[in-house]
Amino acid sequence: MKNRIAFRRGARWWAGTGLLVTAALYLLGAPQVDDADGALLGGGVTVSQGAVMRSLAVLDVIAGLWILLRPRTYPALTAAAAGLIALWLSPRLKAPALVDIGGFALDIRFAVHPLEVLVIVAAVTVVVSSVSAGFQKRARTGERR
């Protein structure tokens, strides 16, 4: 690869904006599914699907802003973890959450899940690129000695 820094920046921006777009979609679709059961907690307590989507949106906003503001490996790992948590909770999003886009009603589940997968790939790319750059730098300083 010719320009690793540009590749790492692009992956970081993709992960951050993907998380922010996902959070916006979650927040747009959450009010429509407040009545649907989302997650079953201990003792028979259920949390609505809208509450699950809002909590995922908050997690995505925090991780997305952190990876955009701090180009390090820990924010990238957090972004990947946010994507994994969203995909882990995706079976709890059973009710359709439709968002009207012009004359088209989009079920956000079909837009959010591919975005989360791409966020995970981009975040892992940032981590691997940073770690490999560190190893290369360490090897170069070892050659100079």
- What are 60-79's pLDDT values in tens digits? 999 999 999 987 788 888 99
Q: Which residue in this structure is represented by tokens 């307590």?
A: 45
Question: Mean of the pLDDT values across residues 117-140?
Answer: 86
Q: Which residue has the higher pLDDT, 68 or 41?
A: 68
Q: Are strands 37-40 and 104-107 parallel, antiparallel or unpaired?
A: unpaired
Instruction: Give the pTM.
Output: 0.85
Pick from 142, 114, 134, 135: nearest CA to 14: 114
Position of tokens 């012009």? 102
Alpha-helical (H) ranges within the chain are 4-29, 49-69, 73-88, 108-144
